[in-house]
Structure 1
Amino acid sequence: MKHEIYETFADAIVRLASCSPHAGKMFQYLDVVINPAAGGFARRRKLTAALEIAVRRADEHPSTDVLPYALHLTQYPFHGRVIGRELLDAIRTDETPRLVVIAGGDGTHAEVMSALVGLPHELSRRFHVFRVPMGSGNDGADAFDLETACRTLFGASQAVLAPAVRVSAVGLEPMYSFNVASLGIDAFITGTVNKLKKIVPGDAYKVPADLATLFYGPVYGVGEMTVSLGSAGDPVEVLSDRFILVAFGASGHRTYGDHKRILPGDENVCAIRTDRLVKRIALKSRIYSGEHTSDPLVVMRQSDRIEVGYNRKIAVQCDGEAVWLRPENFPVVFERLDDSVPAIHAKS
């Protein structure tokens, strides 16, 4: 029964896209990737509401010439990466222009798109990506909500080249973020939340966030960290302090953790020093609302590249997927990649 529901959702998405003025030109074929474990699909109430919206919008714009498509369902953690590589193989062998619609959260979007980063023009001209916000965190999607996504697919869209962040750690494969990557307490929270999502229904973010604020320092410690801004070997500035969090965005004006305003201005780098518990608790709420930038504990900068040095175990997260790093994985380099993946986006 669930598979039929996903097919119905995908069919509605394709019918909407088939009515787009871009259909037949920008794309002639669709790949619809759905993560059934994403928050918008895994919870019955949200799934029912999403299905109603998608089908209603598609029925409002009937099309007699529906484009062909393939449905891809993720079946296990990180399956999106495998699907992304399979799509890349298809793009290499088939010149038919296609639209890759990814319905899930930021993590699902990033998994699929990581296989499509920085391709030569000969390949990148053959596809566009569209990220549908169906997760528990949808900060990097190409539309604010599903209603907007439906309007975008129907035609209220613009072609863009989505930027990315490449995170390179010693001894590990490069990781990619298409929104905000970060080191420290928030990455630890992300990993904790991802574990809890498997066993606790609903939004589990708030409880571990509060607990991490209390216990992160005593449990993991916060050591001296260096953050070098600018090109390798010739940094513009070097920051050195006991930073509890360093965030690096594909640009400024970005949110993460379900619309928490970590980068509210033009700056794409945010480094936060540790301090007494009471100050950390007060600062946490200001970060959520984007009012933290003037706090003495916060450093805001704009940079295309940072290199981080650290000699302790620490977590890094890319679009909601966390990995633990050890001292031997440093230095870690965060780099902005402009124009990394062709996409369609809701009109501003």
Structure 2
Amino acid sequence: MYTKRMNATDLSKYLSPIIKASALWKDKVLNVVIIANPAAGGFTRKNIATQHEILLKNKSEIAENKPQLCKDFAIKVYETERAGATAAFVQGFVKEAALCEKTDAEYLIVTAGGDGTSLEVQTALAHIVFDLGGEYSVLIKNKITILRLPFGTGNDGSDGWTLDESLSLLEEKSHFALQKAVRVDCLKGSKLPSFEYSHNDESLSRNPPWYAFNIASIGIDAFITHMTNRTKSRLPGNFYKVWIDLACIFYGLKYKSGIAKIKIFNEDGNIIETLETGIVFCLFGVSGHRTYGSHQKILPDDRNVCLAKKMPLIKKILLKEKFKSGKHIDHKLAFLCSAEKIEIEYDKQILVQMDGEVHLVDKENFPLIFEKTEPVIRIIEKDDAPFYKGAERI
């Protein structure tokens, strides 16, 4: 049926009628940019690309018979090239938007790639808000929306696990919301945290603070993420589940176990819990009801913090399925809670990851702090969304 695989330009043509028909930008002058990773599986894997194109073509044809609700519309495509270039493009896009004198102008950034693509775009926006502030912060929070399409292998940070689910945000009753992020910071000391992310030969942000828009964590899962990144830079496919099994055996050989001292804070800045324990991992989500590692249900309820206590190898192997399926929440070796911030002291080297970006943190870089930011990223949520996921309706 389709003689060639869909590319980013094809995607823009299919999306245009769908976006124009959305009530979200009624009577607005809408400027859209699609930031696409041409190497993402949603473009390169034939079966997935064909499924995406069939779905997009059908939705586009239906939308063409609906009225255009935005006052005016423009769309362009940017294909990612190398780490760092996308952030520079986003900065230029924001500066261009700031120069626009039309009061009814709004902007939509559509990411079509994996979690790494959406991470880089959102990190660039967060840095502008927190580092520059002022009129740029107002612009990003009030006029620039991001729609994260699942074109990668994991897609835990996308607006829906499937493309159909993501596009339904444009078709059904939805609203704008401001999403919080997780800020990760640590001491720089005499030794900076080192760059462990090898996929593009350059880190998104070499020095802290770093940002996550889904889950940040330390421990074995950061090791799994790092090894998955290294593997997929050489071979196509999703190797996360393979490395879950391998990490049970090899992680302890590479990174020696230490004792973590963890302070947990509530919204008022008060310490509500203090833990001192050996850990397999400790993670902090923007909210509860979040997954990582290709939909591993690590935060299956309203709580946004999960810790796995140190355990023998055989226990890791026996319990890994519970952690993957979300059935770990009542196990004695798991600890879950809700928190606004956690502060971690640790006496060994350990890996930290933010939505797939991995760094090696040395013992002199602690304490390591995970905390929620103010609402910063403008997203789209359905009116009947079943769970609170860290975004405030606007």
Please tell me the TM-score bracket, short chain as reference.
Answer: over 0.9
Deviation of 1:91 (Å): 3.0
1:241 aligned to 2:277? Answer: yes
CA offsets 1:192-243 (integer angstroms, 9 cap, x no match)? 1011112222221222221111111122111111111117996332211111
SS at match of 2:344: strand
Paired residues, number: 348
1-structure distance, mates of 2:302, 2:24: 32
Structure 2 CA distance for partners of 1:39 and 1:2, relative to 1, 3 Å: same
SS at match of 2:118: helix
Deviation of 1:279 (Å): 0.6
Aligned residue identity for 2:14: A
Listed as ranges, the matches of 1:80-229 within 5 Å are: 80-94=86-100, 96-117=105-126, 118=129, 120-171=137-188, 172-229=207-264
Q: 1:275 aligns with which of 295, 299, 311?
A: 311
2-structure distance, mates of 1:207, 1:9: 32
**Counterpart in 1 of 2:80?**
74
Question: CA contact under 8 A between 2:263 and 2:342: conserved in structure 1?
Answer: yes
**Counterpart in 2 of 1:50?**
52
Q: 1:230 aligns with which of 247, 258, 265?
A: 265
Structure 2 alignment gaps of length 5 or more: 189-206, 386-394
Structure 2 CA distance for partners of 1:134 and 1:76, relative to 1, 3 Å: same
Structure 2 CA distance for partners of 1:220 and 1:2, relative to 1, 3 Å: farther
CA offsets 1:159-194 (integer angstroms, 9 cap, x no match)? 111121111122323111111111010011101101
Structure 2 CA distance for partners of 1:4 and 1:48, relative to 1, 3 Å: closer
1-structure distance, mates of 2:173, 2:160: 11
SS at match of 2:262: strand
Question: CA contact under 8 A between 2:6 and 2:50: conserved in structure 1?
Answer: no
TM-score by length of 1: 0.92
Structure 2 CA distance for partners of 1:135 and 1:156, relative to 1, 3 Å: farther
Question: CA contact under 8 A between 2:7 and 2:43: conserved in structure 1?
Answer: no
1-structure distance, mates of 2:6, 2:306: 44
2-structure distance, mates of 1:98, 1:140: 20
2-structure distance, mates of 1:90, 1:155: 30
Structure 2 CA distance for partners of 1:225 and 1:154, relative to 1, 3 Å: same
2-structure distance, mates of 1:336, 1:209: 27
SS at match of 1:227: strand
Structure 2 CA distance for partners of 1:209 and 1:123, relative to 1, 3 Å: closer
Structure 2 CA distance for partners of 1:282 and 1:97, relative to 1, 3 Å: same
2-structure distance, mates of 1:206, 1:107: 18
2-structure distance, mates of 1:25, 1:130: 20
**Counterpart in 1 of 2:199?**
none
2-structure distance, mates of 1:291, 1:308: 25
CA offsets 1:115-174 (integer angstroms, 9 cap, x no match)? 223453354212111111111111222223111222322344321111211111223231
SS at match of 1:333: strand
Structure 2 CA distance for partners of 1:159 and 1:295, relative to 1, 3 Å: same
1-structure distance, mates of 2:303, 2:353: 19
Percentage of identical aligned residues: 33
Aligned residue identity for 1:51: E
